[in-house]
Amino acid sequence: MSIAQLVRPSRKQRVRTLWISDVHLGTRDSQAEHLAAFLKRYQAERIYLVGDIIDGWKLRGGIYWPQAHTNVIRRLLTMSKRGTQVIYVTGNHDEFLRRYSKLLLGNIQLVDEAEHVTADGRRLLVIHGDQFDVITRYHRWLAFLGDSAYTVTLVLNRWLNHWRRRYGYGYWSLSAYLKHKVKTAVNFISDFEEAITHECARRGFDGVVCGHIHHAEIRTLGDVEYLNCGDWVESCTALIEHPDGRIELYRLADEQERLAQLQADKVAVIEPAA
C-alpha cells in the first residue's frame, strides 16, 4: 500500500479554501498521485490553482501524461461539479492559458490574478509570482537554462527517493535541501518575497498567496502576510483555510511522519499484549 493510500481518511474534511500550485503535470517529477489523494480528503468551498499546474514548457518537447496526471484533472472536475468553485490562476509554465484569462466555464474560472477575502475579513492577493522574478520576466534564456539544471537535480531526487522507498524511508527532497543551502538560492527567495510583498502593500492588500519558487512558507513581512503554497514536485505542500479563517500550511512529509509515529505506537501497544 502506498503512502498516498495510507493518508486517505474515511470521511472528507470540510474546509473553506484550498490553494495548490506548481504541480507541473506533464513532467515525470510531478507528485500527481499524492495530490489526487490529498484532494480526495477535502470538501472545499473553493480551490485556487496558483499557476504552473500544467507544464507547457515540457509538453513542447514531447507528451508525457500518465494516468495519475489525468486523475488529478478528473478530481478537480469532480470537485467543481459538486459545487467547489475552481479558480485557475495562470503561471509562467502554463502561460499559454493567459490568452484565455477571464474565461468562465461553469464553476471553473481562468484568471491571471485574484482577490480572496478570508472568513475573518483579510484581503489576499492570489498570484503565481513569476511577475516578480527578474530572470523569468527579462531573461527567458536564463530561465530555460536554469530549468534544465533543475531537471537534472529532480532526476537525482527521483533516483534517491526510489531507494529510500525500497528501504522503508519516507519522501525527502534533495532539490529543496540544496535550494536552502545554496546562498544564491536563499538570496533569490528573499528578493522574491520582498518584491511581491512590497507590491501587495502598495495595492492595499493584507497579504499575498503565491507559488513559483517551490518554497512553502507562512510568515509576516512588515505589515503583509506572506503565504506560499510551495509545490507538488519537491515538497508536496498546500495551504488550507479553515471555516474560522485560519490558514494552515500542509506538508506531506509531516503527514507521513505522523502516520509512522501512529504505526509505531500501535506496534508498541500490541507487542506487550502478545
DSSP letter for each residue of 100-155: GTT-EETTEEEESEEEEE-TT--EEEEE-SGGG-HHHHH-HHHHHHHHHHHHHHHH
pLDDT tens digits along 226-260 = 999 999 998 899 999 999 999 999 999 998 888 88
Rounded to an integer, what distance in angstroms lies between the CA atom of residue 215 and that of residue 171? 16
With beta carbons less than 8 A apart as the criterion, state whether 238 and 211 touch: no
Phi, psi of 243 (to 5 degrees): -55, -25
pLDDT tens digits along 48-71 = 999 999 999 889 888 999 999 999
The β-bridge relationship of strands 104-105 and 108-111 is antiparallel
Top CATH class of 12-135+183-251 equals alpha beta
197 alpha carbon, distance to own chain's centre: 19
Q: Which of 91, 84, 124 is closest to 233 using CA atoms? A: 91
2 alpha carbon, distance to own chain's centre: 20
Instruction: Give the three cell numbers for residue 208.
Output: 499575498
Mean pLDDT, the chain, rounded, equals 84
SS (H, E, C) 159-185: HHHHHHHHCCCCCCCHHHHHHHHCHHH
With beta carbons less than 8 A apart as the criterion, state whether 62 and 26 touch: no
Identify the weakest region by mean pLDDT among 149-163, 181-195, 260-274. Answer: 149-163
Is pLDDT above 60 for 103? Answer: yes
**Averaged over 1-30, what is the pLDDT?**
81
**Averaged over 39-52, what is the pLDDT?**
98
pLDDT at 9: 53
pLDDT confidence tier of residue 266, bands split at 50, 70 and 90: confident
Q: Taking the alpha carbons of 183, 257, 71, 79 in that order, is the dihedral positive or negative?
A: negative
pLDDT tens digits along 161-212 = 665 667 666 665 656 655 555 444 456 677 889 999 999 999 999 999 999 9
Q: Which of 220, 3, 234 is closest to 122 using CA atoms? A: 220
pTM: 0.79
- Look at residue 87 and give its three-state secondary structure: strand
Identify the weakest region by mean pLDDT among 51-60, 69-78, 82-91. Answer: 51-60
The number of residues making up the chain comes to: 274
Q: Taking the alpha carbons of 111, 36, 11, 218 in that order, is the dihedral positive or negative?
A: negative
